[in-house]
A and B are shown apart, each in its own frame.
Chain A
Amino acid sequence: MTPGGAPTSGPGTSATDVRDPGDRAVAPAAGSVAVGDELPPLTVAVTRDRLVRYAGASGDFNPIHWNDRVASAVGLPGVIAHGMLTMALAGRLVTDWVGGPGGVVELGVTFTRPVVVPNDDAGATVELTGVVGAVDEQAGTARIDVTARFQGQTVLGKARATVRLG
């Protein structure tokens, strides 16, 4: 199984894809945020290179995330990304918007489908979008609902963050 079609972003062989940093240390002001506001989307090329880096950084060396032979032996369509890596990308979408990790009170996801990562330079393209699902003006917080897609299908369920507004 290979990801269908061409990747929607650049070759993505680097583990540090570049985004416009903008004003990244400041959380949006509570009064400026409304339900339905969309977060700037994030597209990430998840390559084998990234899986190896993530394995080392996280300490999760499960071979299904880097070894085709083992992945096939346990019935997977190929090497798959760490669910926690996909969750980390969802976290990035949120921290980019809220001004850094300090604004994230809660982050939770359900892992619903694997992200199969081919052994090529393009990798698997994961597209993340987010929308403000609720605003609690009393608490000064907002709930962000995140969607993560791979090959047109969602790979995370109930992906939600609670963030502290400025």
Chain B
Amino acid sequence: MPLEASFVGRPFPLGEPYEVGVEKVREFCAAIGETNPLCVDRAAARAAGYPDLIAPPTFAIAVVAGAQDRLLFHPELGLDFSRVVHRDQRFTHHRPIHAGDVLSAVACVDSLRVLAGNDVVSVRTEITDAAGDPVCTTVGTLVARAAE
């Protein structure tokens, strides 16, 4: 079943802003084994000129998950999630995310394609801060394998 073409460009924002917590950044660092003081030691981060702990570059995926899920699990999109694999992901950081950030995220489908019978969905999500300034742009591609 083809995916719903009208989703291309349709914005899906987070319901509420994502507030970056100190302990959430530390939890993420513990999970990936990140021990850089800028990420886990508030005094070190502040001494280096950051407002608070800064997050590893892929932490942004936790920020955008809510907006992306609203889009990808939308029943009218028609994506069979049991057949989905994550093909690629790219983050462009306009500045580091730090604890205390209150972030908004808007996800939208960049493109919908069918390749060899598989649905290929490219999703772009823009993260902005409380002032509306850009923080991170992330683009990912999901592939839903064709049903047998």
Contacts and interface: CB of A to CB of B under 8 A. Distances in A.
Interface residues of B, number: 35
Per DSSP, are chain B's interface residues mostly helix, strand or loop, or mixed? mixed
B37 A107 contact: no
Given A57-B24, A101-B56, A110 B88 contact: yes
B31 A100 contact: no
B58 A74 contact: no
Is the interface on chain A under 10, 10 to 19, 20 to 34, or 35 or more residues?
A: 35 or more
B57 A25 contact: no
Nearest to B25: A57
Interface string B21-63: 0001001101111111111000010001010001111100110
A41 B102 CA distance: 35
B86 interface: yes
Interface in A6-37: 15-19, 21, 24-25
Q: Which 10 A-B pairs have the closest CB atoms?
A: A108-B90, A53-B31, A57-B31, A88-B32, A110-B88, A100-B38, A54-B31, A57-B28, A88-B58, A104-B57
23 contacts: A24-B36, A25-B37, A25-B44, A25-B48, A44-B33, A57-B28, A57-B31, A58-B62, A59-B62, A59-B65, A87-B58, A87-B89, A88-B31, A89-B32, A92-B32, A95-B34, A101-B54, A102-B38, A102-B96, A104-B93, A105-B92, A107-B57, A109-B89
Interface of A: 15-19, 21, 24-25, 44, 50, 53-54, 56-60, 74, 83-85, 87-89, 91-92, 94-96, 100-102, 104-111, 158
